[in-house]
Amino acid sequence: MDRFVSAFMPNMIDKFPKFFEALCDTLLMVAWAGIFSLAFGTLLGIVLVVCKKGGILESSAVFQIVDKAVNFFRSIPFIILLACLIDLTRFIMGTAIGVRDAIVPLIFGTTPFYAGQIESALSELDAGLVEAAQSMGDSPLRIIFRVYLREGASSIARVTTITLISLIGLTAMAGAVGSGGIGDFAIRYGYNRHQTDVAYFSVAAIVILVYFIQMLGSQVVKRTKH
């Protein structure tokens, strides 16, 4: 094993502690940004579904405001969003440098994407299920939880998997501005110092992480199918 590492990854020998620190930073960013993004995105996605024309809480004004806000933030490249939110990040987190500074932009970058995914997933539900619930006198809140979220669990799990994979990519991109994580590790040592084995190892780590989330998401999708 030592010979293999020395032959194919000579620059990684003394960088494993830093790599594991970077891996923990990536997982930390994914965890915190994921929690808030999934929560806010689910809320906004539900609002888009129930407030659209023909929805159970139809409201053109609310729909237009939320829809325009979601589309606005989705249209901003993440690397530009990082720069634009520096002052807000410093105000909320108390710093604009390191892992903590990436969490706010990650939330702003992921939430609109997930909201759109949730809207698409819930819109795929059979309209007859909603109509049946309405005919039985169910309240809008009951319909949201017992029809949209319960019956759409499989689709929600699928789009959640897609979003988390996208979030991992954004954390790597945040490394370009020194936000920590595997992306920062790959750029600092693999790109800036021309240590290709470090870059390859970082890519392999990201691929394994993505594969794990994809595998876990696929299992959840299978279990939630009716």
Query: What CATH number did the domain enclosing 153 receive?
Result: 1.10.3720.10
> pTM for this structure?
0.89
Cα distance between residue 224 and residue 226, in whole Å: 6
Share of the chain above pLDDT 70, in %: 93
Residue at 30 is within a domain? yes
* pLDDT of 83 over the 50 cut: yes
- pLDDT value of residue 129: 86
- pLDDT value of residue 86: 80
Q: What is the mean pLDDT of residues 48-54?
A: 91
* pLDDT of 7 over the 70 cut: no
Give per-residue pLDDT as tens, 192-216. 877 888 888 888 999 999 999 999 9
Residue at 3 is within a domain? no
Nearest 10 degrees: Cα torsion 41, 42, 43, 45: 80
Cα distance between residue 172 and residue 88, in whole Å: 21
- pLDDT value of residue 9: 67
Residue 124, both tokens: 């795929």
- pLDDT value of residue 1: 47
Cα distance between residue 189 and residue 197, in whole Å: 10
Mean of the per-residue pLDDT values of the chain: 87
How many domains is the chain partitioned into structurally? Answer: 1
Q: What is the mean pLDDT of residues 85-104?
A: 77
Residue at 1 is within a domain? no
Residue at 4 is within a domain? no
Domain span at residue 104 reads 14-224
Residue at 7 is within a domain? no
